[in-house]
Amino acid sequence: MPRALRQMITWYSCCVLVETSRFTPKSAESALKPGAVQLVCQRQRHRAENSMAADNTGSKGQHYLELTVVFDFFTDNPQKVLPLSESNHAENPFYDPYWGSIRAMQQNDQFLEGMLLRSVDSNAKFPYLHYVVFNNSAPLRSQRATSQDRMNGGAGGGGLVSSKELMLDSKNQLINILNSQGGYSEMFSFVDPNVALLPKRPSNPNTAYIVSAFRTSGNLPELDSNWSYWSGADYISSQTPSHLHLQRITFHKIKYSTQSSENFTYVLMCELGEALADVNKAREIVDSLKFRQCGYASLYTIDHFF
């Protein structure tokens, strides 16, 4: 295949062009090359903290949260892509289509947090990115509703809605969101011991994220077991200087999608707590990932939380 054609396919289709036969399987919970900041496997840390809490209080530790993440890659600013005249609320001059869609997600029982990220690259293929977290372990509405809550229409009366119907409504709403935008499971997550596991919302305004995304076909078990090598996680962990404060590396795999050919199969997200204090160095790391011509990569800052 001509080199120019291969570059075009790699960049625009974000295919992973690697030889999986060369990989040596790693341990699922320690598959990350050590770097300037020692990151701890999130599941191992959660088990250790629960064990310590149980020793101190005698109570059973908290259940590990199973999260589902939505990555929605935008080719333009989503706050302006839906004109009011084309929405279902054109008659309401105060309705904002973008925030209307955000509120719809927030009303789901399992919504946890979200943010809109903005790329620092002037020519980014996806200049904006939604990162939305849902807690699969959160109780659905029917599991915490009172008999009064289950009266559709409140004090004004209305038909009685069964708890099963409420649960299915909330669950179906979430599945529709995940299928339309692409829902991902967290396969591996490594976190700085000094950083809280949840919420993921950072408090430092200098925080930025290295996001790498890949479309693949075939050999997924091999890619799953050797994710840290081909995704660039090992490189980021070993090459990120300590002053950038690498705080979290999370590897995601597609779980829900009705548009599998359009969604990325894998997404790697790395949180740098002080990236904007030395943005040129952070960009150097991203440029090295781009030079590999393996997937889409960009540096994102926080536009807003929701």
User: Bridge-partner residues for 266, per DSSP?
Assistant: 214, 253
Q: Distance between CA atoms of 127 and 102, rounded to whole angstroms? A: 19
Can you tell me the distance from the alpha carbon of 305 to that of 117, in angstroms, rounded to the nearest whole number?
9
Higher pLDDT residue, 53 or 280?
Answer: 280
- What is the model's pLDDT at position 96? 82
The rounded distance, in Å, linking the Cα atoms of 297 and 287 is 8
Q: Where are the domains of the chain?
A: 3-63+119-126+186-305
Q: Measured between alpha carbons, how far is 290 from 284 in angstroms, rounded to an integer?
A: 10
Report the pLDDT value the prediction gives residue 21, as an integer from 0 to 100. Answer: 32
**Residue 300 pLDDT level (bands cut at 50, 70, 90):** very high
pLDDT tens-digit series, residues 61-110: 455 678 999 999 999 999 986 555 555 555 666 778 888 889 988 998 89
Q: Which residue has the higher pLDDT, 205 or 52?
A: 205
58-72, 75-89, 150-164, 191-205: which has the minimum mean pLDDT?
A: 150-164
**43 contacts: CB under 8 Å, gap ≥ 6:** 29, 64, 189
Mean of the per-residue pLDDT values for the chain?
76
Which residues are within 8 A (CB) of 155 and not within 5 positions of it... i.e. 6 or more apart?
Answer: none
CA-CA-CA-CA dihedral for 238, 243, 246, 247, to nearest 10: 140
